[in-house]
Amino acid sequence: MIIASNFKTNHTRESTKEYLVKLNHFVKENSIKEEILVFPPSTALDNYNLHDSIKIGVQNAYPTDKGSFTGELGFTQIDEFDIKTILIGHSERRHILKESDELIVSKYNFYKDKNYKIVYCIGEPKEVRDDGLEKVLEYNFSQLDGIDLDYENLIVAYEPVWAIGTGVSATTKDIEETLSALRKSIKAPLLYGGSVKVANTKEILEIKNCDGILVGTASWDIEDFKEMVRIAHEI
């Protein structure tokens, strides 16, 4: 199973280091074999000496080796830390930072060519969910346009926008129906994200076609994140 933590704009370099020391210790002590991905803020990127199960990824990067893209990181800056994992298409980047589908696809293609593990996020807004499953699927599949779904290092995260950071997760039925429909076209691991917390981790991880979780808010506390990893390990 894949358990991913997205720090978003939280934690500092120092607190990230403390978090990773605790996580690393926990993983070693308990011989955890799950795949754990941690996406810290860019100021906390580093070449940490971690157990093989834990990978550090970037929350965003520009599709360039280097160049004049003020405020952005490119491949050269990330590669310095031997990072090979990236989050692309997160709804906060799509909706708040106004990233276009075109830019998202170009990031995908660029980092695919670099052989990165790509956690590619899709998910519908509330008004689409209110229109029913057919519209939900149409919307989610449209976000996959231009993406090579057969890429071997792809992970798809289904994150309904209305469930992100709201404390209200999608229902088991909604998640199951959406993931089963996605599974018909996607061989890659499928994650669910959106208000996952300790209390609903087991229920969500037990959903058919759910290969893991992408957690924001509830993962920022290391004790809670360790507990979610432990639950995954015991399933």
- Residues identified as active-site: 90, 159
Nearer to ligand PGA, 179 or 218 (CB): 218
Identity at 122, one-letter amino acid code: I
Q: Which stretch binds ligand PGA (CB under 6 A): 74-82, 97-105, 170-178, 188-196?
A: 188-196
User: Is residue 178 a contact partner of residue 156, using CB atoms and an 8 Å limit?
Assistant: no
Burial class (CB in 10 A: 0-12, 13-18, 19+), 77: middle
From residue 232, give the alpha-carbon distance in Å to each of 33, 66, 213, 229.
10, 38, 10, 5
Residue 41 sits in the site that holds ligand PGA (CB under 6 A): no
Residue 123 sits in the site that holds ligand PGA (CB under 6 A): no
Residue 165 sits in the site that holds ligand PGA (CB under 6 A): yes
User: Is residue 147 a contact partner of residue 178, using CB atoms and an 8 Å limit?
Assistant: no
Count of positions on this chain that bind ligand PGA (CB under 6 A): 13
Residue 194 sits in the site that holds ligand PGA (CB under 6 A): yes
Member of 216, 225, 226, 229 binding ligand PGA (CB under 6 A)? 216
Residue 63 sits in the site that holds ligand PGA (CB under 6 A): no
Q: Which helix (H) or strand (E) holds 175?
A: helix 172-183
Nearer to ligand PGA, 151 or 220 (CB): 220
Identity at 188, one-letter amino acid code: A
Nearer to ligand PGA, 23 or 218 (CB): 218
Tell me which residue has its CB nearest to ligand PGA: 216
For residue 101, give every residue at least 6 positions away whose Cβ sits within 8 Å of its Cβ, in sequence order, or none: 143, 145, 146
**Angstrom distance (rounded) from CA 203 to CA 118:** 25
**Angstrom distance (rounded) from CA 147 to CA 145:** 6
Member of 186, 215, 229, 231 binding ligand PGA (CB under 6 A)? 215
Residue 99 sits in the site that holds ligand PGA (CB under 6 A): no
Residues at the contact surface with ligand PGA, assessed by CB under 6 A: 6, 159, 164-165, 193-196, 214-218
